[in-house]
């Protein structure tokens, strides 16, 4: 468990952030200037808060009242920045070993670095460089890993290349991770816990799926970022159609592409703006995914939009419709309706493991 409760005045910017991060990947999400990097720099010991306390498990890194402030080199923290910051005159292997040699063979295997060890940083792609930087951070045997916008400098293709390695890291390497990002697709694929910041404060926090499915979170996350995450399993592949059948507690989903082998877990982010609601089961339409759902919450935004929380089996979805549509359909909490999701509405960046 990571516990953070800190305050710091930086010119006209006031940081006053408190949250707890359990095991797994805790994403700190927010717009530029919200205080995300300031928080992780304080955890790393690169910035000293004016007040508060930071701890990882039983280890206290900072306590203003007790005048405890461990220097960065004593905190056992691995830090991966937006740019890889590799030593250009060192091979990949020497860059890795600069961090240490802890569990070297396993880290090289998990991150797929075996074929890169003798190469120089200049000959690596952006995604490969970030994998090396991540390996270097892990080989110092950290008790905590900090990742500050590690994919922000990469294009879509390079992100797609590296995200599966990050997912494997999340599942195979049992250390807590604080992951800073302003990209909800990354967050939805990787995180287990979500902390949302705005203007130096934590405005909402909790398990990823729980936070994302709350209608009240829409104005905090942004209209385009809002959407639920569900865990599914591959039930079959329709090779003639190029589709994969996924099962979850609320029914069946058909998604394009080959998404895994039978029984494999697949995480799907379904943007709220791509969910259509119907009071009766539709007929004669192209959309393949029609799910029976129950309305759990309705939240009116400041503009013309209405966020509608939905329960599908044991899972939760989120839809965003206009106020006019909500009134015309007479939507109400407890009402049984149907959620319609186009298979093509969920992009490759919203599908993970």
190 and 270 assigned to the same domain: no
Nearest to 43 by CA among 32, 55, 33: 55
Q: How far apart are CA 279 and CA 226, in angstroms?
A: 23
Residue 284 lies in a domain: yes
48 and 194 assigned to the same domain: yes
CA–CA–CA angle 346, 352, 353 (5° rounding): 145
124 and 181 assigned to the same domain: yes
Q: How far apart are CA 108 and CA 138, in angstroms?
A: 10
Domain count of the fold of the chain: 2
Strand partners, 297: 309
- Looking at 212, 238, 271, the residue that finishes a domain is 212
Q: How far apart are CA 230 and CA 62, in angstroms?
A: 36
**Structure confidence at residue 239 as a pLDDT band (50, 70, 90):** low
Residue 183 lies in a domain: yes
Both tokens assigned to 214? 């709350």
Query: Which CATH number is 151's domain given?
Result: 3.40.50.300
Q: How far apart are CA 88 and CA 120, in angstroms?
A: 7
284-336 residue pLDDT tens: 888 889 999 999 999 987 778 899 999 999 999 999 999 999 999 999 999 99
Query: Which CATH number is 345's domain given?
Result: 2.40.50.100
Q: Strands 193-198, 25-29: parallel, antiparallel or unpaired by DSSP?
A: parallel
Contact 248, 265 (CB under 8 A): no
90 and 190 assigned to the same domain: yes
Residue 28 lies in a domain: yes
153-182 residue pLDDT tens: 888 888 888 888 888 888 887 889 999 998
What are the residue ranges of helices labelled H in 203-262?
A: 208-212, 218-221
28-37 residue pLDDT tens: 998 888 999 9
55-94 residue pLDDT tens: 999 999 999 999 999 999 999 999 998 888 999 999 999 9
Contact 26, 179 (CB under 8 A): yes
Query: Is the Cα torsion angle 95, 100, 105, 110 positive or negative in sign?
Result: negative
55 and 195 assigned to the same domain: yes
Looking at every residue in the chain, the average pLDDT score rounds to 91
206 and 233 assigned to the same domain: no
Q: How far apart are CA 259 and CA 348, in angstroms?
A: 10
Contact 29, 184 (CB under 8 A): yes
- Looking at 180, 212, 244, the residue that finishes a domain is 212
**Other residues' Cβ atoms within 10 Å of the Cβ of residue 37:** 19
Contacts of 132 (CB under 8 A, 6+ apart): 84, 86, 92, 95, 96, 111, 113, 116, 121, 124
Helix axes 126-138, 92-99, angle to 10 degrees: 30
**Structure confidence at residue 23 as a pLDDT band (50, 70, 90):** confident
pLDDT of residue 84: 85
174 and 234 assigned to the same domain: no
Contacts of 123 (CB under 8 A, 6+ apart): none
Residue 218 lies in a domain: no
Residue 219 lies in a domain: no
**Other residues' Cβ atoms within 10 Å of the Cβ of residue 89:** 10
**Stretch (H or E) spanning 207:** strand 201-207
- Looking at 181, 212, 243, the residue that finishes a domain is 212
Residue 240 has pLDDT above 80, yes or no: no
Nearest to 200 by CA among 24, 350, 14: 14
Contact 268, 291 (CB under 8 A): no
6 and 139 assigned to the same domain: yes
131 and 162 assigned to the same domain: yes
168 and 42 assigned to the same domain: yes
108 and 150 assigned to the same domain: yes
Both tokens assigned to 97? 């070993």
CB-side neighbour CA atoms (13 Å) of 282: 15
137 and 282 assigned to the same domain: no
Residues of the domain holding 239: 227-352
Residue 277 has pLDDT above 80, yes or no: yes
Strand partners, 197: 202
Residue corresponding to tokens 């003639």: 240
Residue 250 lies in a domain: yes
Residue 220 lies in a domain: no
Strand partners, 133: none
Residue 27 lies in a domain: yes
Give pTM, 2 decimals: 0.89
């Amino acid at each position: 468990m990571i516990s953070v409760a800190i305050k710091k005045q930086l010119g006209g910017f006031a940081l006053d952030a408190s949250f707890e991060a359990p095991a797994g990947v805790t994403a700190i999400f927010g717009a530029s200037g919200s205080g995300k990097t300031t928080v992780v720099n304080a955890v790393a010991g690169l910035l000293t808060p004016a007040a508060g306390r930071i701890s990882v498990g039983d280890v206290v890194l900072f306590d203003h009242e007790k005048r405890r402030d461990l220097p960065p080199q004593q905190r056992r923290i691995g830090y991966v920045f937006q740019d890889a910051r590799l030593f250009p005159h060192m091979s990949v292997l020497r860059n890795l070993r600069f961090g240490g040699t802890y569990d070297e063979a396993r880290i090289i295997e998990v991150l797929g670095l075996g074929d890169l060890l003798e190469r120089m940083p200049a000959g690596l792609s952006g995604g490969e460089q970030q994998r090396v930087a991540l390996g270097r951070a892990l080989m110092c045997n950290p008790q905590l890993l900090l990742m500050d916008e590690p994919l922000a400098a990469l294009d879509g293709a390079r992100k797609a290349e590296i995200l599966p390695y990050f997912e494997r890291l999340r599942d195979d390497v049992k250390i807590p991770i604080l992951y800073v990002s302003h990209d909800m697709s990354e967050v939805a694929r990787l995180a287990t816990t979500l902390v949302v910041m705005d203007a130096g404060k934590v405005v909402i926090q909790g398990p990823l799926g729980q936070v994302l499915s709350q209608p009240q979170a829409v104005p905090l996350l942004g209209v385009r970022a809002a959407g639920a995450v569900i865990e599914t399993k591959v039930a079959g592949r329709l090779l003639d159609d190029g589709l994969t059948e996924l099962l979850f507690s609320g029914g069946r989903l058909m998604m394009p592409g080959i998404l895994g082998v039978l029984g494999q877990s697949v995480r799907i982010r379904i943007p709220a703006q791509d969910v259509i609601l119907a009071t009766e089961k539709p007929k004669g339409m192209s959309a393949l995914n029609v799910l029976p759902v129950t309305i759990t919450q309705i939240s009116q935004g400041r503009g013309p939009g209405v966020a509608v929380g939905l329960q599908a089996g044991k899972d939760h979805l989120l839809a965003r419709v206009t106020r006019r549509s909500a009134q015309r359909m007479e939507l109400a909490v407890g009402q049984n309706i149907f959620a319609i999701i186009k298979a093509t509405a969920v992009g490759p960046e919203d599908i993970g493991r």
